[in-house]
Amino acid sequence: MAIMASVTTDQVLNTARSLLAAHRRSLLDVQQYALWTAGISAADLQAIATGTGAPMSSADAGIILAAMADANAEAQIHFTGQAPGTYPQVTGTPYIYAASQVRLIGPFAG
């Protein structure tokens, strides 16, 4: 995004709010998709893909499942300051990245 030479306070606030709301929505979407992928195996994912006519290798299926689990862990850190129990844990006081964003865009209302 290019820095504009002359912008209003409202433009700055609206842009920040819009970007942060999209960021939060993306993290929530990742969490929802991760819930689905957490309940299936690489073989299940391959079978689903093959059923749609788009074969998937077991390596690709494994990469997708691992990437979604890791993205979900990132979302958990963002919202709670702590990764899921199967991941390395924050020592000391967890930092909740979402807190400052909630101050600007408000709590998530669904």
Convert the pLDDT of each residue in 16-62 to its tens digit. 999 999 999 999 999 999 999 999 999 999 988 877 777 889 999 99
In a domain? residue 63: yes
In a domain? residue 6: no
Contact 72, 85 (CB under 8 A): no
In a domain? residue 18: yes
Say which residue the tokens 């819930």 belong to.
Answer: 35
Distance, CA of 22 to CA of 4 (rounded, Å): 21
Please, what is the end-to-end C-alpha distance for the chain in angstroms?
28
Share of the chain above pLDDT 70, in %: 95
| Residue 24 belongs to domain spanning | 12-105
For the whole model, what pTM was predicted?
0.81
Backbone dihedral angles phi then psi of residue 32, each to the nearest 5 degrees: -65, -45
The number of folded domains in the chain is 1
- Residues 6 or more apart in contact with residue 50 via CB below 8 angstroms: 56
